[in-house]
Structure 1
């Protein structure tokens, strides 16, 4: 018997949005900021020791900053979600009939008939009223809910991983080739990161690759120019 094309399990990228966003942001920022810092310091005629110190400091400071920033911002989102859920829980206790009508109205707006919308609202609220309102009224679900610690740890690890690459290249490359070696390795890494993240998320690979590589090149070019100016002034 031929299997229907509608019976196979489907795999979408939406369930990965939370950690993918933090991971891609961390790795991308790690590569761009550290590579730009190294290129800028090298363009200012700094020696290998100064470049190593600057790159290492950038890696550590950046990882801590990313972790703290992600934790604070995602915690704020989590606090807002908790407050909205508490308010919704109280509204369900105070006016369950009105909340049921509100949920049915949402389904009518999405295209269901009033009769079917009423039936769906009744059945979903009978199973889990708060979950139904959280998902369909507040757009809060297990997939999209904020996870501060996960975001912070992911950002710190991925930033450090991304920052380690240009730093390693700067350490291993001959001093005279620090700038081109760091820039080329970083751009290749950014292109790979853009393509990989797009593939995982199901987005356009070419568009994502070009976007992340272009802005990485701009960042390094700007800091190299600034470093060169300060190097000449010195």
Structure 2
């Protein structure tokens, strides 16, 4: 008889993977909606394949670079905060070890341990690796897995690009008469998928997330197509 596995022991790693997957799905969703809005808007003004390709590529590159830059800045700020917090903790451990031991004991007590057990656990954790213990218990930081801004930037860039390729290819590959319907159907189908995936990753019911995605994407395409049609009719 095999022993049951315990996935709960790896809950932190699982949570991190789910966060990355959720970010990837949302990045792809942004790429789909924003690029679809651009190419459908241009399609309302012209049927020129070169104009559609140029607009779509410009939207893809601008959006993916913007997402990557924004994610890099955001995660860099988070990493800087983590490094600064660890530096402060290291200094406090050096200058006032007894106070830090009492603080760690109190934190463990707040997690449900008795005073005696918390004190013993704090002493053992401090003897093994005081900084790591305080980082995990007090700060909620794993010193070995600080957030990486380059990983976040590349993940955002890739997710947005993958999402943006769908409406771009859907608008330029079919014959002129089929471009708009193929794009709209493809985009709405993709939004159903990303809405369902984001809801499942967040342990939520998919119906509402799918509806929000589809309505938002349809509205974006409708508004930009109307604007493009008006500009095209005006000769702009």
Q: What's the counterpart of residue 213 of structure 1?
A: 214
Q: Tell me how large the CA RMSD over aligned residues is.
A: 2.4
In the aligned structure 2, how far is the partner of 1:18 from the partner of 1:82? 21
In the aligned structure 1, how far is the partner of 2:144 from the partner of 2:16? 5
In the aligned structure 2, how far is the partner of 1:17 from the partner of 1:103? 30
Confirm or deny that 1:148 pairs with 2:140.
no
Q: What's the counterpart of residue 139 of structure 1?
A: 140
Q: Which moved more, 1:154-163 or 1:185-194?
A: 185-194
How far does the alpha carbon of each residue in 1:129-176 deviate from its partner, in whole angstroms, 9 at most, with x for none?
Answer: 111211221121269731101111111112111111111111122323
Q: What's the counterpart of residue 227 of structure 1?
A: 228
Q: What's the counterpart of residue 117 of structure 1?
A: 118
How far does the alpha carbon of each residue in 1:11-54 deviate from its partner, in whole angstroms, 9 at most, with x for none?
Answer: 65403145324422321111111111111111234522211110
Unmatched 5+ residue regions in structure 1?
none
Q: What's the counterpart of residue 99 of structure 2?
A: 98
Listed as ranges, the matches of 1:30-109 within 5 Å are: 30-109=31-110
In the aligned structure 2, how far is the partner of 1:88 from the partner of 1:129? 10
Q: Which moved more, 1:178-187 or 1:202-211?
A: 202-211
Q: What's the counterpart of residue 192 of structure 1?
A: 193
Confirm or deny that 1:203 pairs with 2:187.
no
- Matched residue count: 231
Structure 2-normalised TM-score? 0.86
Unmatched 5+ residue regions in structure 2?
none
In the aligned structure 2, how far is the partner of 1:24 from the partner of 1:67? 15
**CA separation of 1:46 and 1:144: change in aligned 2, threshold 3 A:** farther
Confirm or deny that 1:9 pairs with 2:7.
yes
Q: Which moved more, 1:11-20 or 1:168-177?
A: 11-20
* Contact in 2 for aligned 1:194/1:205 (Cα 8 Å): no
Q: Which moved more, 1:202-211 or 1:82-91?
A: 202-211
Listed as ranges, the matches of 1:151-162 within 5 Å are: 151-162=152-163
* Contact in 1 for aligned 2:135/2:143 (Cα 8 Å): no
**CA separation of 1:222 and 1:88: change in aligned 2, threshold 3 A:** farther
